[in-house]
């Protein structure tokens, strides 16, 4: 099966680590491209390309003010990622419970051994 283009698939778009960095940077507020370039120390054409991909798949929104563009992460766009990842939550919760039970059992055994000495 052919791989989906990064411009049409949220999962492929966030597979690129720099795009994930950009999403995190834009999470708390709207920022101009120059802030992304400066903060993440990437070249401007690369940032623009990544922002275009993120915008095309709905992960960021853009607002124009004259010649300037301001970007911000769209929480609604992240929903498919969240929904997919949350399917594994039950598995990890179960695994963490098993680790907790095992650690508690080891602690009880250590207490019993210490009392025997």
More confident residue, 113 or 44: 44
Query: Does residue 58 share a domain with residue 17?
Result: yes
In this structure, is residue 80 part of a structural domain?
Answer: no
Helix (H) or strand (E) holding 73: strand 68-73
Question: Which 8-state DSSP code applies to residue 107?
Answer: H
pTM: 0.69
Residue 7 in tokens? 């411009």
Query: Does residue 69 share a domain with residue 26?
Result: yes
**Residue range of the domain that includes 61:** 1-74
What would the pLDDT profile of 24-53 be if each residue is shown by its tens digit? 999 999 999 999 999 999 999 999 999 999
Query: Does residue 44 share a domain with residue 100?
Result: no
What would the pLDDT profile of 59-93 be if each residue is shown by its tens digit? 999 999 999 999 999 988 888 888 888 887 777 77
Query: Does residue 35 share a domain with residue 1?
Result: yes
Query: Does residue 93 share a domain with residue 44?
Result: no
Phi-psi region of 58 (alpha: psi -120 to 50; beta: other; left: phi over 0): left
């Amino acid at each position: 099966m052919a791989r989906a283009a990064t411009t049409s698939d949220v999962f492929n778009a966030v597979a690129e680590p720099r795009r994930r960095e950009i999403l995190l940077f834009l999470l708390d507020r709207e920022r101009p491209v120059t802030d992304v370039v400066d903060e993440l120390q990437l070249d401007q054409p690369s940032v623009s390309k990544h922002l275009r991909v993120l915008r095309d798949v709905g992960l960021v929104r853009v607002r124009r003010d004259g010649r300037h563009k301001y970007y911000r992460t769209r929480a609604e766009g992240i929903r498919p990622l969240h929904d997919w990842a949350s399917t594994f939550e039950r598995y990890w919760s179960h695994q963490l419970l098993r680790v907790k039970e095992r650690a508690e059992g080891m602690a009880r055994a250590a207490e019993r051994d210490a009392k025997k000495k």
